[in-house]
Structure 1
Amino acid sequence: MQQVGNGSGNGYPVLVIDDHELFSTSLTMALRNEGFDARTLPVAFVRHFLGHVEGPPGLVVLDLDLGHDAGGRLINGTDLVEGLRSGGWKVLVVSGSIERPAIAAAIVAGAIGSVPKSRSFAELLRNVGAAARGESVMTRDEYEDWVECHRRHVAKEREHARRLTRLSPRELEVLELLAEGKRAASIAQHFVVSMPTVRTHIRSILTKLEVGSQLEAVAMFRHQYDVNGRSA
Structure 2
Amino acid sequence: MIVDDHELFAESLELALNMEGYGVRRVPTASTTPVALLAGVARYQPRVVLLDLDLGSLGDGTRLINPIARTGSNVVVVTGSYEESEWGHCIKRGARKVIPKTHPLNEILSVTRRICQGLPVMDAAERERLIGVWSEHRRVAEDLRGRLDRLTPREAEVLGWLVEGHQVREIARESVVSEATVRTQVKRILRKLEVTSQLAAVGLARQAGWSPNVRHKAN
TM-score bucket of the superposed structures, by smaller chain: 0.7 to 0.9
Correspondence 1:26 to 2:15: no
Q: Given the alignment, which residue of 8, 26, 33 partners 1:40?
A: 26
Q: Give 2:3's aligned amino acid.
A: I
Deviations 1:160-184 (A, max 9, x none): 1211121111111112233344443
Aligned length: 210
List aligned pairs for 1:191-230, cutoff 5 A.
191-225=175-209
Alpha carbons 1:65, 1:98 under 8 Å: kept: no
- Secondary structure of the equivalent of 2:5? coil
Counterparts in 2 of 1:182 and 1:147: CA distance versus 1, 3 Å: same
CA displacement at 1:85 relative to structure 2: 1.1
Distance across 2 between alignment mates of 1:143 and 1:220: 29
Alpha carbons 2:47, 2:116 under 8 Å: kept: yes
Deviations 1:68-109 (A, max 9, x none): x39xxxx32211111111222211112323411111101000
**Which deviates more from structure 2 when the two are superposed, residues 156-165 or residues 195-204?**
195-204
Q: Give 1:188's aligned amino acid.
A: A
- Secondary structure of the equivalent of 1:38? coil
Unmatched runs of 5 consecutive residues or more in structure 2: 214-219
Aligned to 2:37: 49
Aligned to 2:143: 159
Alpha carbons 2:156, 2:212 under 8 Å: kept: no
Aligned to 2:54: 65
Q: Given the alignment, which residue of 86, 90, 94 partners 2:74?
A: 90
Aligned to 1:8: none
Alpha carbons 2:45, 2:71 under 8 Å: kept: no
Distance across 1 between alignment mates of 2:63 and 2:20: 29
CA displacement at 1:136 relative to structure 2: 1.0
Distance across 2 between alignment mates of 1:78 and 1:93: 9
Q: Give 2:26's aligned amino acid.
A: T
CA displacement at 1:225 relative to structure 2: 4.7
CA displacement at 1:25 relative to structure 2: 1.3
Distance across 2 between alignment mates of 1:192 and 1:42: 52
Using the size of structure 2 for normalisation, the TM-score is 0.84
- Secondary structure of the equivalent of 2:119? coil
Unmatched runs of 5 consecutive residues or more in structure 1: 1-14
| Larger fraction in helix | 2
- Secondary structure of the equivalent of 1:54? helix
Q: Percent identity?
A: 39
Distance across 1 between alignment mates of 2:116 and 2:107: 14
Deviations 1:120-152 (A, max 9, x none): 111221111112222111001101101211221
Distance across 2 between alignment mates of 1:231 and 1:31: 45
CA displacement at 1:223 relative to structure 2: 4.8
Q: Alpha carbon RMSD of aligned pairs, Å?
A: 2.3
Q: Give 1:59's aligned amino acid.
A: V
Distance across 1 between alignment mates of 2:193 and 2:100: 34
Using the size of structure 1 for normalisation, the TM-score is 0.80
